[in-house]
């Protein structure tokens, strides 16, 4: 085997005294009058020596006077000035057939209450879990913030499953040491242990205590395999919660936004210089193909949006002044609106082979394209026959879609009536809006109450409205 030697130096002092000599490194304790003080004999070198004999016996002295106390913890209750002095713990133990006595002296100072120190704060640990491997050595560190320069009255120690570390011989506790940082101080206390199964899933608690109060932080040790499992479960749980949250938000997005608008005091009518909340454009006419569209645009829509909800609309065919230049009115009113509502009718979009083709299907594709050239969006206003063929509604679409797609000043809301509209027949710009924002579908049997599904979807796309009208709407 390997051969070597170990050399250590130590000193021995011998004195003929009835009680041990008090050394210069005596442990000093400052405690306030009227409080209870526990003095623990078995720590530092005393603890290591007493591990040699599990049947050691403890006695206490104050000065050189024996006390009738035999526990390793001496408790002094309701301190008074007379309790100040030196307290010595004498521990008798047997090693190799010889009886030895180990001693530790504590100098207690009982202070009269003066400036009250602040309660200590455990910086770390808080409430943590640590992944460890059974059989390996592990260190637990406790760091405490003391809100004063005087740390003499603060105690920092560890508890294992709410029991003192003295009950676990395999633990090695280094008692607190402190360092000053400015006008405050930090104290630390380390606990070293060989990880056994009995230390898993139990709380290791760091306690910081002084006369003002106390604080604590807890660490729970988990085996490596179990820690990986818990980590995976935590990740899976987080993913499920996130997915459920997104699903719930998707299902109730409209209701949540409307409720927020109704409850938030910040969402008042926008001060953007606009006069109207929406400009309403629809196919005009007096035949049966447009009668239901006209009824919706002139009766149902304003009843709910204006009368019940308090929106302000400009509806073509209702609000323009007689004799005004058509294209000037449209350009002005669309520019003063926050939304453009375009009502689509299936009768307005038919295959070119249909002899009844009317409305927007007659509009040249380039007039409603996504080109950035304004000349391809505005029609030739000098062509009065073309204006007559457009029947006013499509021209409103041109102006509104130009503001929405090219200038970015206007949001477009598409509403479909009278069955399905063939989206492939829509101009490119309206197809783009239908694909990005969707089309609201209105049926004659729908409710005209503002809290109906259709009207909630429309309100969601509209700007916030004044609070007075919404107070009674859920």
Tens digits of per-residue pLDDT, 298-328?
999 999 999 988 999 998 888 877 766 667 7
CB neighbourhood size of 278 (10 A): 25
Whether 415 is covered by a domain: the verdict is: yes
Domain boundary among 226, 246, 263: 226
Provide the pLDDT for residue 313: 93
Q: Is 80 helix (H, G, I), strand (E, B) or coil?
A: coil
Give the mean pLDDT of 15-41: 77
The string of pLDDT tens digits covering residues 49-69 is 777 777 888 889 998 888 988
CA–CA distance from 324 to each of 314, 330, 357 (Å)? 15, 10, 29
Cα–Cα dist 66/346, whole Å: 107
Domain total of the chain: 3
CA 339-474-465 angle, to 5 degrees, is 30
Closest Cα to residue 173, out of 9, 28, 51, 38? 51
Cα–Cα dist 42/87, whole Å: 14
Whether 146 is covered by a domain: the verdict is: yes
Whether 244 is covered by a domain: the verdict is: no
Q: Is 395 helix (H, G, I), strand (E, B) or coil?
A: helix
Is a pLDDT exceeding 70 seen at residue 370?
A: no
- DSSP states of 43-75 as a string? STHHHHHHTT-TT-EEEEEETTEEES--SSEEE
Residue 248 burial (CB < 10 Å; 0-12/13-18/19+)? Answer: exposed
Do 102 and 148 lie in one domain? The reply is no
Domain boundary among 51, 86, 111: 111
Cα–Cα dist 28/85, whole Å: 10
Give the mean pLDDT of 203-221: 89
Provide the pLDDT for residue 301: 92
Closest Cα to residue 360, out of 326, 399, 388, 395? 395
Helix, strand, coil percentages for the chain (3-state, nearest 5): 30, 30, 40
Do 462 and 385 lie in one domain? The reply is yes
Cα–Cα dist 404/469, whole Å: 28
- Between 322 and 361, the more confident residue is 322
Whether 282 is covered by a domain: the verdict is: yes
Domain boundary among 111, 145, 160: 111
Whether 267 is covered by a domain: the verdict is: no
Do 38 and 144 lie in one domain? The reply is no
Provide the pLDDT for residue 344: 85
Provide the pLDDT for residue 358: 44
Is a pLDDT exceeding 60 seen at residue 388?
A: no
Give me the CATH number covering residue 311.
Answer: 3.40.50.10140
Run of H or E residues at 131: strand 127-132
The string of pLDDT tens digits covering residues 99-156 is 888 888 888 988 876 555 578 889 999 889 888 888 888 889 999 888 765 666 778 8
Provide the pLDDT for residue 206: 93
125: CB partners within 8 A, 6+ apart = 140, 142, 206, 217, 218, 219
Do 107 and 126 lie in one domain? The reply is no
Q: Is 231 helix (H, G, I), strand (E, B) or coil?
A: helix
Give the mean pLDDT of 191-210: 89
CB neighbourhood size of 78 (10 A): 10
- DSSP states of 180-199 as a string? EETTEEEEEEEEEEE--GGG
CB neighbourhood size of 126 (10 A): 11
Give the mean pLDDT of 365-378: 37
Give the range of the structural domain holding residue 421, as residue numbers without chain letter.
278-470
Provide the pLDDT for residue 151: 65
Whether the upstream peptide bond of residue 305 has omega within 30° of 0, thus cis, is no
Sign for the pseudo-dihedral over CA of 142, 143, 144, 150: positive
Average pLDDT score over the chain: 76
Do 426 and 387 lie in one domain? The reply is yes
Is a pLDDT exceeding 80 seen at residue 240?
A: yes
Do 32 and 174 lie in one domain? The reply is no
CA 283-274-318 angle, to 5 degrees, is 30
Cα–Cα dist 471/353, whole Å: 51
Is a pLDDT exceeding 70 seen at residue 334?
A: yes
- Given pLDDT bands bounded at 50, 70 and 90, which one contains residue 373? very low
Please, are residues 135 and 13 in contact by the beta-carbon 8 Å criterion? no
Provide the pLDDT for residue 231: 66
Is a pLDDT exceeding 60 seen at residue 219?
A: yes
CA 359-274-296 angle, to 5 degrees, is 40
Whether 19 is covered by a domain: the verdict is: no
Is a pLDDT exceeding 50 seen at residue 356?
A: no
Q: Is 355 helix (H, G, I), strand (E, B) or coil?
A: coil
Percentage with pLDDT > 70 across the chain: 70
Do 107 and 129 lie in one domain? The reply is no
Sign for the pseudo-dihedral over CA of 145, 148, 150, 152: negative
Do 322 and 430 lie in one domain? The reply is yes
Is a pLDDT exceeding 70 seen at residue 16?
A: no
Whether 251 is covered by a domain: the verdict is: no
- Between 17 and 268, the more confident residue is 17
Do 284 and 393 lie in one domain? The reply is yes
Provide the pLDDT for residue 384: 34
Cα Rg, the chain, nearest whole Å: 43
- Given pLDDT bands bounded at 50, 70 and 90, which one contains residue 266? low
Whether 98 is covered by a domain: the verdict is: yes
Is a pLDDT exceeding 80 seen at residue 13?
A: no
CA–CA distance from 80 to each of 40, 41, 52, 349 (Å)? 19, 21, 37, 100
The b/e string for 419-443 (b: 16+ C-beta within 10 A; e otherwise) is eebeeebbbebbebbbeeeebbbbe
Phi-psi region of 120 (alpha: psi -120 to 50; beta: other; left: phi over 0): beta
Please, are residues 70 and 202 in contact by the beta-carbon 8 Å criterion? no
Provide the pLDDT for residue 233: 75
Give me the CATH number covering residue 126.
Answer: 2.60.40.10
Provide the pLDDT for residue 267: 57
Do 60 and 203 lie in one domain? The reply is no
Is a pLDDT exceeding 90 seen at residue 34?
A: no
Select, from the ranges 289-298, 408-417, 454-463, the one with the highest average predicted confidence (pLDDT).
Answer: 454-463
Give the mean pLDDT of 271-276: 82
Do 310 and 442 lie in one domain? The reply is yes
The string of pLDDT tens digits covering residues 390-406 is 343 444 555 556 655 55
Do 98 and 126 lie in one domain? The reply is no
């Amino acid at each position: 085997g390997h051969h070597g030697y170990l050399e250590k130096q130590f000193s021995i002092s011998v004195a003929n005294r009835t009680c041990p000599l008090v050394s210069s490194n005596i442990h000093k304790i400052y405690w306030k009058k009227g409080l209870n003080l526990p003095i623990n004999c078995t720590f530092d070198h005393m603890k290591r020596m007493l591990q040699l004999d599990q049947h050691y016996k403890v006695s206490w002295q104050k000065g050189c006077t024996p006390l009738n106390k035999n526990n390793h913890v001496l408790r002094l209750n309701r301190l008074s000035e007379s309790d100040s002095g030196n307290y010595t713990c004498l521990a008798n133990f047997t090693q190799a057939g010889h009886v030895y006595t180990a001693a530790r002296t504590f100098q207690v100072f009982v202070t009269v209450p003066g400036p009250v120190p602040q309660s200590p704060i455990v910086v770390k640990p808080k409430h943590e879990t640590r992944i460890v491997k059974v059989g390996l050595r592990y260190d637990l560190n406790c760091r405490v913030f003391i809100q004063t320069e005087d740390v003499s009255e603060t105690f920092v120690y560890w508890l294992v499953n709410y029991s003192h570390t003295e009950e676990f011989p395999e633990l090695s506790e280094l008692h607190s040491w402190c360092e000053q940082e400015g006008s405050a101080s930090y104290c630390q206390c380390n606990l070293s242990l060989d990880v056994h199964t009995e230390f898993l899933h139990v709380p290791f608690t760091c306690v910081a205590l002084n006369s003002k109060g106390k604080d604590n932080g807890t660490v729970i040790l988990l085996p490596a395999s179990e820690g990986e499992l818990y980590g995976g479960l935590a990740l899976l749980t987080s993913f499920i919660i996130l997915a459920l949250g997104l699903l719930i938000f998707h299902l109730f997005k409209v209701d949540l936004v409307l409720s927020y608008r109704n409850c938030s005091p910040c969402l008042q009518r926008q001060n953007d210089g606009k006069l109207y909340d929406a400009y309403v454009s629809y196919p005009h006419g007096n035949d049966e193909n447009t009668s239901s569209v006209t009824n919706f645009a002139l009766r149902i829509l304003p009843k709910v949006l204006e009368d019940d909800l308090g929106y302000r609309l400009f509806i073509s065919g209702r609000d323009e002044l007689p004799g005004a230049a058509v294209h000037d009115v449209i350009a002005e009113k669309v520019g003063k609106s926050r939304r453009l509502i375009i009502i689509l009718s299936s009768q307005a979009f038919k295959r070119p082979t249909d002899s009844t083709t009317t409305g927007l299907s007659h509009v040249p594709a380039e007039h409603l394209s996504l080109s950035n050239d304004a000349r391809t969006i505005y029609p030739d206003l000098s062509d009065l026959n073309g204006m007559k063929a457009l029947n006013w509604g499509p021209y409103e679409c041109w102006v509104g879609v130009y503001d929405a797609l090219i200038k970015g000043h206007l949001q477009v809301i598409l509403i479909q009536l009278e069955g399905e509209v063939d989206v492939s027949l829509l101009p490119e710009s309206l197809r783009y809006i239908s694909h990005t924002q969707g089309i609201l579908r209105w049926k004659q049997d729908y409710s005209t109450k503002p809290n109906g599904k259709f009207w909630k979807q429309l309100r969601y796309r509209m700007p916030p409205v004044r609070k007075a009208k919404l107070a009674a709407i859920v």
